[in-house]
Amino acid sequence: MAERFGIVIFGASGFTGKHAVEEIHRLAKNDKTLTWAIAGRSQSKLEKVIKDLQDKTGDDLTKIKILIADISDADSLKEMTKQATVVVNCCGPYRFYGEALVKACIDTHTNHVDVSGEPAYMEKMQLHYNEAAEKAGVYIISACGFDSIPADLGVIFLQQKFNGQLNSAETYLENSVDPKYYKFGDASIHYGTWESLVYGIAEQKELGPLRKQLYPQKLPQMLPKLKARSIIHKSNIVNKWCLPFPGSDRSVVYRSQRYLHETEEKRPAQMSAYVAFPSLFSLLMVLFVFAIIGVMAQFKFGRKLLLKYPRLFSFGFISHEGPAEELMNNTKFTMLLYGRGWDEKEVDVNGKPTTKSLKVRVSGTNPGYGATVTALIYSGITILKEADKMPGKGGVIAPGAAFAKTTLIENLNKNNLTFEVVD
């Protein structure tokens, strides 16, 4: 068999894919052992990605290999995946375009990472392909971007630093942008993310039956139970108005914590996720928009309107062109994780009042397309270099469980995605 590339970026001509190509080029300049190629269905678009990056950096990229593969052509996917040790999949929404590539990766014994924030897709892949991935000896790891590296690895980091037994974690996400680079109506998110969101809301009803199949046995009850806060509440932890975070963080953290409990008998941490706002008015505005989207996404005609007129229904927040480079580079995020538990790693703590708390923080720049691709590419590199530190021999698992014993957090800390103890 011909030697494989370390990483192949599939969907490299898409909005996220282009940023992933920039990131792997940046990292490969300092790591000559890292070999990579790009893949997609259009030769001309992929050539333009290489040319644009050459023009931007002044580097010679003429030797970068282009692989042609189409998600609707299973043979082309296998031909592409058998040339990779890790495929970085940037082609979403994954509920439509993910499964075929997962199948191809398993068939050709190729690892797979992506940036999906779609719980139904991720849990479906775990239900249907975990055993096959284990037998093939490959890792299929979703949620390796902003959804949900900060939350999932953030909880792992909190457990590592807690110096005791963690019972629960609450996460509080805040985004901020330099007002010099933003005015009302500027797009902040690319259409692809919007499409995933709309279908993600629509597929919520699939999750209950899916989880009954995936988890026929419930976890033992952890006490004291982490109580959900009010939908609208003023948090005494961040001193801001908050809503439950609607993303995939909670489901991804649950998958990691359950895996570690089942394979290593670790006490699973309970988790709740919230998003914080600078004012009650801004919170109510976001809640109003989400209420409209939530209702419309339940119906086929409503989804059609949302997808046809993204700028209208997002008040300019979403566009097919995506956010401007300056805006992305001046958008920052902070996720505060507040943990409670016990000082000592006692065997019998269940039900006892907690005695200790700890705050840690994960922060970075350009959460959607900067921090995301850094986390994504480093996830792939970690599989390449540290598979011996990863659990089992493969499988469909969440990033927290997959990378808990690797140096991924350490490497992200060196690359503008910071994990730190606050208090």
CATH number at residue 382: 3.40.50.720
The reply to whether omega before 179 is within 30° of 0 (cis) is no
Do 226 and 288 belong together in one domain?
yes
Distances (CA, A) of 263 to 170, 210, 258, 290, 392: 24, 22, 9, 38, 9
Q: Which of 57-71, 172-186, 299-313 has the least mean pLDDT?
A: 172-186
Strand-pair partners of 172:
274, 336
pLDDT at residue 331 in the model: 92
* pLDDT (mean) for 38-63: 97
| 80, 169: one domain | no
Q: Could you tell me if 270 and 351 lie in one domain?
A: yes
pLDDT at 243 over 90: yes
**pLDDT for residue 194:** 87
Assign 153 to helix, strand or coil: helix
Rounded Cα distance between 372 and 365, Å, is 9
State whether the Cα torsion 329-331-332-333 is positive or negative: negative
Residues 28 and 129 placed together within one structural domain of the fold: yes
* Number of domains the chain is built from: 2
Domain that holds residue 380: 5-146+373-402
pLDDT one-digit tens code per residue, 97-144: 999 999 999 999 999 999 999 999 999 999 999 999 999 999 999 999
219 in the same domain as 318: yes
**Do both 102 and 235 map to the same domain?**
no
CATH number at residue 308: 3.30.360
Check if the beta carbon of residue 229 is closer than 8 Å to that of residue 238. Answer: no
Has residue 346 got a pLDDT over 90?
A: no
Q: Above 70 in pLDDT, residue 258?
A: yes
Per-residue pLDDT at 185 exceeds 70: no
Nearest to 11 by CA among 59, 67, 73: 67
Comparing 3-7, 56-60, 209-213, 326-330, the range with the smallest average pLDDT is 326-330
Contact 49, 12 (CB under 8 A): yes
- Are residues 381 and 242 both part of a single domain? no
Distance between CA atoms of residues 400 and 151, nearest Å: 9
Angle at 417 between CA 156 and CA 112, to 5 degrees: 70
**177 and 302 share one domain:** yes
Q: CA-CA distance, 411 to 15, in Å (whole number)? A: 24
- Mean pLDDT, rounded, for 66-72: 97
Q: Which two tokens stand for residue 92?
A: 């979403």
User: Within this chain, do residues 139 and 153 fall inside the same structural domain, yes or no?
Assistant: no
Same domain, 239 and 340: yes
Rounded CA gap, 54 and 38, in Å?
A: 14
Ordered DSSP codes for 233-265? EE-TTTSSEEEE--SSHHHHHHHHHHHHHHHH-
Task: Quickly state the pLDDT bin for 166 (edges 50, 70, 90).
Answer: very high
Q: Is the pLDDT of residue 264 over 60?
A: yes
* Whether residue 226 sits in one domain with residue 116: no
Q: Is the pLDDT of residue 75 over 60?
A: yes
Does this model's pTM top 0.85?
yes
C-beta of residue 387 within 8 angstroms of C-beta of residue 406: no
Kindly give, in sequence order, each residue whose CB lies less than 8 Å from that of residue 254, ignoring residues fewer than 6 positions away.
271
For position 303, what pLDDT does the model report?
Answer: 94
Predicted local distance difference test score (pLDDT) of residue 278: 92
Percent of the chain with pLDDT over 90: 83
**Alpha-carbon separation of residue 285 from 132, 134, 161, 291, 315 (angstroms):** 45, 46, 37, 10, 11
Same domain, 308 and 340: yes
